[in-house]
Structure formats: structure tokens, C-alpha cells
């Protein structure tokens, strides 16, 4: 799924000369609708992984007396590690979903604010055009362009402040013992 401009659920991109001179240079080229869909996918993955971890945990308890001694201990340890890994993985996918939710809100809010500026720019353009011609209309766009630049800067700061995604947990199988005895 490509998160690009033009999704029908996105905040509409403004058009016209005033928008081109003010907000379009700062318009986010990502679909907030598709960001939300990605977040929903991450949440679904987290749920599936957590359900798998719960299944492993139930099977560990159910089959505890299948093997005894070292084999039983090894099975129990592996299944415990698999359960922990499953829950840690669910947390990882939930953290990805949270970051995507944040990005979605930031992009949607930024586009909404840019549309507000575009509407004000259209009004300023028309008034300046009728009072002083095209050069006056172009000059009237400067403060609105600066406001759009400030909004973009604030949105980038909000994106940078989004909590970090948890690290991907290390798989509990395929590990080799560390024999560093020299």
C-alpha cells in the first residue's frame, strides 16, 4: 500500500494561483488515510501475535508433564521464551501502530490548517488583484506563505517528537551459546 497524495479519504489538496504561491510547496505528499490503514494493519498483527503467544502459553501448561528431566526443562524454557517473544512482538507492533496514528493525526491536522491558509490566500488574492493588479496579489501571498512554512516546521517538530518504536525483539530460537572461555 503506497501512502501517496490523492486518496479519496484525504483532506483535499487546494488548487489555484493563491494555493500554488502559499501552501502547495508545503503540502505533505503522503496519504493520511493510508497511514491510518497501515496503523490498523499493525494493530491487527499485534493482536494475532499476542493470540499466538497466549496459545503457546496454554500449550506449555497443558503439555508440562509430557517430558521430564532435561528434555522437559528445555521444552518449558523454549516455550516460555516463545511466549515472551510473542508478547514482546505484540508490543512492538502496537508501538508501530501508535507511531502511525500519531503521523496520521499530524498530517491530517497539517493539511486542514494548510487548507485554511489556502482559503485566506484566495480571499487576499482576489482583494489585492482587484485593488492593485497581479503584482499586488503576488505580494499579498508572502505573509500567508510564511504562515504555511511555519506550519510545516511545527508539523516536522511534532513528527520528530513522536515516541520511538520499540526495538524488534530477538527471536528465542536459533541462538547459539556464547562460549567465550579462553
Per-residue pLDDT of the chain (182 residues; tens, 9 = 90+): 445 556 788 999 999 999 999 999 999 999 999 999 999 999 999 999 999 999 999 998 888 777 788 888 888 899 999 999 999 999 999 999 999 999 999 999 999 999 999 999 999 999 999 999 999 999 999 999 999 999 999 999 999 999 999 999 988 876 544 444 44
179 Cβ contact partners less than 8 Å away, ≥ 6 residues apart = none
Residue closest to 3 by CA, chosen among 104, 134, 149:
104
pLDDT of residue 4: 54
Residue corresponding to grid cell 508539523 = 155
Distance CA 134, CA 131 (A): 9
pLDDT at 179: 41
- Phi, psi (rounded to 5 degrees) for 171: -65, 140
* Residues 6 or more apart in contact with residue 118 via CB below 8 angstroms: 14, 16, 18, 19, 22, 23
Q: Give residue 5's pLDDT.
A: 56
pLDDT at 131: 94
Amino acid at each position: 500500500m503506497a501512502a501517496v497524495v490523492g486518496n479519496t479519504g484525504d483532506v483535499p489538496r487546494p488548487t489555484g494561483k493563491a494555493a500554488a504561491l502559499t501552501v502547495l510547496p508545503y503540502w505533505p505528499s503522503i496519504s493520511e488515510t493510508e497511514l491510518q490503514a497501515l496503523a490498523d494493519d499493525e494493530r491487527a498483527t499485534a493482536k494475532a501475535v499476542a493470540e499466538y503467544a497466549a496459545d503457546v502459553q496454554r500449550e506449555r501448561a497443558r503439555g508440562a508433564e509430557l517430558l521430564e528431566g532435561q528434555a522437559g526443562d528445555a521444552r518449558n524454557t523454549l516455550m516460555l521464551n516463545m511466549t515472551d517473544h510473542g508478547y514482546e512482538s505484540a508490543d512492538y507492533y502496537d508501538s508501530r501502530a501508535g507511531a502511525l496514528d500519531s503521523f496520521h493525526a499530524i498530517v491530517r491536522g497539517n493539511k486542514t490548517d494548510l487548507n485554511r491558509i489556502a482559503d485566506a490566500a484566495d480571499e487576499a488574492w482576489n482583494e489585492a488583484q482587484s485593488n492593485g493588479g497581479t503584482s499586488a496579489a503576488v505580494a499579498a501571498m508572502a505573509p500567508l506563505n510564511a504562515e504555511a512554512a511555519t506550519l510545516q516546521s511545527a508539523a516536522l517538530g511534532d513528527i520528530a517528537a513522536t515516541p520511538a518504536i520499540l526495538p524488534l525483539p530477538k527471536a528465542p530460537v536459533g541462538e547459539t551459546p556464547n562460549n567465550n572461555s579462553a
